[in-house]
């Protein structure tokens, strides 16, 4: 069974630009969560989608948004990039909403903002 696939793996943007990251969950998984990981802040929850609906949201500004498609694939978008948005963005999938905390992670998309 293929794992969680995130694209692109690495990208470099400049301040003010916008970026879209993609996540394909494990086949059959309907829940997708997004996390931001930085050395200073650790793992921070962005949002969770289940059946195309955002079910949970972390404490991030409105520049961070996401969506989920009918095939459970998910995208997240960050607009008006700031230097502080440089991070590893991790996507995780699970069978159902939350699935009692058992998440399967992708390798992440490493974003550098210059």
Partner 1 sequence: AQSVTQPDIHITVSEGASLELRCNYSYGATPYLFWYVQSPGQGLQLLLKYFSGDTLVQGIKGFEAEFKRSQSSFNLRKPSVHWSDAAEYFCAVVRGSNYQLIWGAGTKLIIKP
- Site residues for partner 1, 48-107, by CB under 8 A, read 48, 55-56, 90, 92, 97-107
Of 90 and 113, which has the nearer Cβ to partner 1? 90
Whole-angstrom distance, CA of residue 20 vs CA of residue 7? 9
Nearest to 106 by CA among 4, 38, 35: 4
Token output for 113 = 């903002």
Whole-angstrom distance, CA of residue 97 vs CA of residue 18? 28
Of 79 and 104, which has the nearer Cβ to partner 1? 104
Q: Tell the smallest beta-carbon distance from residue 3 to partner 1 (Å).
A: 9
Residues 42, 59, 62, 70: which binds partner 1 (CB under 8 A)? Answer: 42
28 binds partner 1 (CB under 8 A): no
Contact assessment for residue 74 and residue 101, using Cβ atoms and an 8 Å cutoff: no
Preceding peptide of 8 cis, ω within 30°: yes
Of 16 and 95, which has the nearer Cβ to partner 1? 95
Q: Which residues contribute to the site for partner 1 (CB under 8 A)? A: 4, 42-43, 45, 48, 55-56, 90, 92, 97-108
């Amino acid at each position: 069974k293929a794992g969680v696939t995130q694209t692109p793996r690495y990208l470099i943007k400049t301040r003010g630009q916008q970026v879209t990251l993609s996540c394909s969950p494990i086949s059959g998984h309907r829940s997708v969560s997004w996390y931001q990981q930085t050395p200073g802040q650790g793992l921070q929850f962005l949002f969770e989608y289940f059946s195309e609906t955002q079910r949970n949201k972390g404490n991030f500004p409105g520049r961070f948004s996401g969506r989920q498609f009918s095939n459970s694939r998910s995208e997240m978008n960050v607009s008006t990039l700031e230097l502080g948005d440089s991070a590893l963005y991790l996507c995780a999938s699970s069978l159902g909403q939350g699935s009692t905390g058992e998440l399967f992670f992708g390798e992440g998309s490493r974003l550098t903002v210059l």
